[in-house]
Structure 1
Amino acid sequence: MFSRCVLFSWIKFHFSLSPKKEKYPKFLTRYCQAAGFCLWILLKYRKFWLPAYGYFLPNIQTTEAITLHRFCAEKVKQFCKSKGGLFIKLGQYAGSLQNVLPREYLQELSTLEDQAENVPVQDLLQVLQSDLGSFCILLTNISEKPIGSASIAQVHLARILTSSTVVAVKVQKPNTLVHFTQDLRFLEMVLSVYQFLKGGYEPAIWKIFAEFCREIQEEMNFMTEMANNRRLAQCFQGNIHIHVPDIFPNLCSRRILTMEFIDGMKIDDCLSLDKETRFRISRTLHEAFARMIFQRRFLHMDPHPGNIILQWPQDERQFRIVLIDTGKCYSIDLAFTRNLANFLIAIALRDTQRLSRFVNTTGDDCGMLLASLFLGRKMAQHWLLVDESEIDNRQHKYSLEDYIHLLTSIHPQWLTVLRPLLVIRGISRKLGYPKDVSTIYAPFATQLLFKAWSKTLLTYSRENYSVRNNVS
């Protein structure tokens, strides 16, 4: 039975049915093509199954393996672009896993940020007329070609009729909700098969899946993005280096968002700048996310390079970082923020015992593994003063199974919050920032813990003072 399913998936992937003769629903065809493609990728790596077992995948860097990585990475990118929807989201997320996937995959999948297939502007005009009604006439000179196209929406330039202001209009693609619902069902089926093969129920996986579904649902409601935009704008009010675009509320709906047009360059396109400027940009970006976490406890969850724009209002030394696409944000509770603060301080102080204590996992190695993900380097090289042979031995310490164990054993909130930080760390590495980024977060974390300690001490002092007065 299994071999028949595999054969059917293989045939559906290579010989998809034409629309006129299609015998199966489109979503079934989509699922079978995805399953067949995954099987095809696995078969391409069949030579490396035994050598790679128990080792960390990026360490397989033979000439043959690198060539295969490049070939398969290009095919994965093409498949994600052709299927759109959730597949682009998964590709973007995979492109941020710099310690899990080979470098060739990261280079290819990072280009999925704004390379989704375009929808004809005529289809989007129907969405505008349906949602905005009579207000639709206020938008004129809508561009035929989008300035950006993602898995959920497209962005077109337009002008406001009354003021001739150039704005960016983000319009949700038709049938996006239907496609994402079907893709999430397929992902649920894949997780069920994985759980069946593992031979046990793993609630952590389903918590992560439920959180992912919630994020997708919120991201498809542009009214949520408008509220997130206002909240982030308050966070950086008065900051000359961080800006959040202005929103036009009268021209917004659940599927439409009209905002200030930002003209600039993506943050990963500034490699031609001098080293000092690139380092200042990297540090400012990390400080911005440290403020979100430890001062506002409200985090931008999708900071890929396409959503971070650089501007120079005056000169290159007075740069401005613009954060766009705020549809996916996350409110962090205070208790977890304190745990995260202790975690980052432990990394900065290189305190392994304190590190594992605040991660709240079984086993000390999970704390080290999570820290290695955050830092983007082997912990033996960063923390321990050992010889090269010892470092080489540690290169193979963490396998893919170790990272899967981390996903299933750690609290999902850790992965939710650290995920955008991994993306930011990847951007700073691309800009050549050489320093340990934990030293940037540590002062903000210390400030948060000091405030909590001060409030506790003040409350304790007031209670003791009241008790003494009552006794006297």
Structure 2
Amino acid sequence: MTGVPFLRHFLLQNPKEQCGMVNRLTRYAQIARVLSKYGFGIILQEFYPNDRRPDFLKKDPDLGSDDVYRRIRLAIEELGPTFVKLGQILSVRRDVLPAPLIQELQLLTDKVKTVPYEDVQPVIQETCGEEDEFCSFVEREPIAGASMSQVHRAIMADGNEVVFKVQRPDIRELIEVDLTILEDLAERAEKSHPYLRPFNPVGLIEEFSKQMRKELDFIMDGKNAETVALNMKDIPGVKIPKIYWEHSGPRLLVMEYIDGVRIDDVDALKEKHDLKKLAEVGFEAYLKQVFIDGFFHGDPHPGNLLVTDDGQIVFLDFGMVGILRPERRLAYTRVFYAIISNDIDMLIDTLADLGVKIAPDDIENFKDEMYVIYKQTENYQMDQFSFGDTMNTLTSILHRYKIVMPGSFMLMLKVITMIGDVGSHLDPEFDIIGKTTPYLNKLIISSMFSTESLDDAKHAVTREILGFPKAFRRFLENFSSGRFRMEVTVPEIRSLNDGLEYLSQKMVYSVLAVGFMISVALIAPTVVNPFSEWQGYLLMGSLVGLVLAVLKLWSQKPKR
């Protein structure tokens, strides 16, 4: 146990590690053993020279020829659920990590050996009481298992078929220990390796810890499912399982059992269903979730998407969701639209709005590389085109130019890419760009006339109108007081003239904008069909006038 003194010293240097030291000490030793086994124990060399390093910290000789990225993936899998989840989240960061590592991280699976029903039964009884009081049958053998939970079929006392998603015993304690260790390692990494600071390892682990704690709360999982169900209620062909809240809790989620076939099982599906329609329904559902609702299912791998006998697509597992605020949702819409329509200037401008800067010396080269992607894919036949490969190339460019995108954008990109791949698997002729471009084009145009945009325009106009009398009165007071006669020189006369011209133009366009806004408000309620009535043409003319007036108003700048 020559490794213990080092680990004890490591913990004693951190006051926050004092609580639960024995468990954490054991876990540190496990992590050190796994990292060393796969050849990542170099950090321990200063503590253990090769001739004195204990056996459990030596690399497994059978792994000597393995690729380094494969060894990273194998180490993550052996370290357990916390590290697997971290690897899965990092797998979307194509803008930060090298492509070969991303490919390995995408192979991570959190499927593990299930535990006997007797081990999880106390969790069910803790939440619901004795089994025979609320259900007539529970299938002892789980129908699915993951690192944090496993799923058992059951029949309730009222005859409803359900599934129990039940948390594995002691998983919460293990994850909390791992999160504490990861937080400490992130802090140490930033201090000892300053070049890592732009990637913000501490912030990344903080966000990851929040996500993991959310996933440990199955109530949050159920609420996410209900939110998506409410947003999808008007989309035919989509189904979300019902949650039985009276029997659910933080460690147990009881939901409707829905029988179905995995969406990637093409041979089984093509016997009963129109695969083209399935691809379209699934893709359009995700477009709505991302770009309209701003609340989307964050893990659309084929195991979480089933197809029922009547052709409905069932969404499962809402532990991970993406959430986009309205202003960020519009910005991401513009970014994605710019990418697929090859509008590089729009892309650069929108990235700047998001606070993502490109070094001035790199802009022209960046534009050239983006143009090459566009030309390479422009003439592909659909059976030759891979949207996923194109996004991989794009994110490699982002990585090369050190452009770090927001994590929520990369999750969105991952979801769209995954569901696009599912669509292409169902229908080789599935045109992801052809279906996305008009959808986003419509959203961008409609956003100009949204309630929020009109409110912003109204407030801007109001501010200008209300501010004009005060500015003009201040000018008259200064002029009448004689101060201008004492101080005015020829350059100041020019400046004064420019200021008056600027204020007068502001006033003219403000009055025009208000007039058009009033016209729209009066005419809109009377229009039934805008393309067959004179009121409709008048309404469209007023809208165009309003937009032009507001744009002109915003473009006015005082002369310097």
> Given the two structures, how large is their TM-score scaled by the length of structure 2?
0.61
Aligned match for 1:266, one of 262, 275, 288 = 262
**How many angstroms does 1:68 deviate by?**
3.5
Amino acid at match of 2:157: L
Greater mean alpha carbon deviation, residues 219-228 or residues 187-196: 187-196
TM-superposed deviation, 1:341: 0.9
| Higher RCO by CA contacts (8 Å cutoff, separation 6 or greater) | 1
Using the TM superposition, name which of 190-199 and 153-162 deviates more: 190-199
Amino acid at match of 2:281: T
The one of 170, 174, 199 aligned to 1:175: 170
Equivalent residue in structure 1 for 2:515, among 446, 464, 470 = 464
Are 1:187 and 2:182 counterparts? yes
Would the aligned equivalents of 1:154 and 1:173 in 2 still touch at CA under 8 Å? yes
Alignment match, 2:339: 347
Partner in structure 1 of residue 348 of structure 2: 356
Is the Cα–Cα contact under 8 Å of residues 289 and 299 in structure 1 kept in the other structure? yes
Listed one character per residue, the Cα deviations across residues 198-232 of structure 1 (whole Å, up to 9, x for unaligned) are 32533744333332222222222122222221111
Match of 1:294 in 2: 291
Q: 1:233 aligns with which of 229, 233, 236?
A: 229
In structure 2, stretches of 5+ residues that fail to align are 8-20, 42-62, 381-391, 459-511, 522-560
1:101 and 2:118 matched? no
C-alpha contact (below 8 Å) 2:183/2:206 kept by paired residues: no
Question: Which residue matches 1:382?
Answer: 377
Moved more, 324-333 or 272-281: 272-281
Q: Counterpart of 1:184 in 2: which secondary structure?
A: helix
Asked if 2 retains the 8 angstrom alpha-carbon contact of 1:89 and 1:151, the reply is no
Whole-angstrom distance in 2 between the partners of 1:188 and 1:344 = 33
Instruction: State the shift of 1:323 in Å.
Output: 0.4
Counterpart-to-counterpart distance in 2, 1:366 and 1:241: 44
Cα distance in 2, alignment partners of residues 199 and 39 from structure 1: 24
Q: Measure the CA separation in 1 of the matches of 2:187 and 2:134.
A: 49
Contact 2:235 2:285 in 1 (8 A): no
Distance 1:165 1:367 in 2: 62
User: What amino acid is the match of 1:142?
Assistant: V
1:243 and 2:244 aligned: no
Q: Is the 8 A contact 2:341 2:437 kept in 1?
A: no
- 8 Å Cα contact 1:310-1:321 kept in structure 2: yes
Q: 1:142 maps to which residue?
A: 138
| Native 8 Å contact 1:135 1:251 kept in 2 | no
Contact 2:358 2:401 in 1 (8 A): no
How many residues were matched structurally?
405
1:344-368, Cα deviation, whole Å (9 max, x unpaired): 2112211122122212322177999
Q: Give the equivalent residue in structure 1 for 2:496.
A: none
Please give the alpha-carbon distance, in whole angstroms, between the structure 1 residues aligned to 2:235 and 2:127.
35
Question: Following the alignment from structure 1 to structure 2, what is the Cα–Cα distance between the partners of residues 367 and 245?
Answer: 50
The 3 A distance-change label for structure 1 pair 324 and 363 is same
Q: CA RMSD in A?
A: 4.3
Say whether 1:338 aligns with 2:338: no
Q: Which moved more, 1:148-157 or 1:449-458?
A: 449-458
- Alignment partners' CA distance in 1, 2:218 and 2:32: 32
Q: Cα distance, 1:119 vs. partner?
A: 2.2
Q: 1:34 to 1:230 in 2, by over 3 A?
A: same
Q: Secondary structure of 2:100's match?
A: coil
Q: Retained in 2: the 8 A contact 1:309–1:323?
A: yes
Q: Under a length normalisation based on structure 1, what TM-score does the superposition of the two structures give?
A: 0.71
In the aligned structure 2, how far is the partner of 1:285 from the partner of 1:430?
Answer: 12
User: Among residues 399, 404, 408, which one is paired with 1:402 in the alignment?
Assistant: 399
Going from structure 1 to structure 2, the CA distance change for 1:80 and 1:381 (only over 3 Å counts) comes to same
The range that moved more, 126-135 or 336-345, is 126-135
Aligned 1:307-318 pairs, distance under 5 A: 307-313=304-310
Letter in 1 for 2:100: L
Question: What is the match of residue 121 of structure 1?
Answer: 117
- Aligned residue runs from structure 1 range 275-286, under 5 A: 277-286=274-283
- Among 432, 435, 454, the alignment partner of 1:437 is 432
User: 1:324: how far off?
Assistant: 0.9
Corresponding residue to 1:253 among 249, 252, 264: 249
Rounded to whole Å, the distance in 2 between the matches of 1:85 and 1:214 is 15
Structure with larger Rg? 2
Q: Describe the shift of the 1:465–1:74 C-alpha distance in structure 2 as closer, same or farther (beyond 3 A).
A: closer
Kindly indicate whether the alpha-carbon contact (under 8 Å) linking 1:128 and 1:256 is maintained by their aligned counterparts in 2. yes
Structure 1 SS opposite 2:115: coil
Matched, 1:320 2:312: yes
Aligned to 1:449: 444
CA contact (8 A) 1:248 1:258 kept: yes
Query: Helix, strand or coil for the counterpart of 2:99?
Result: coil
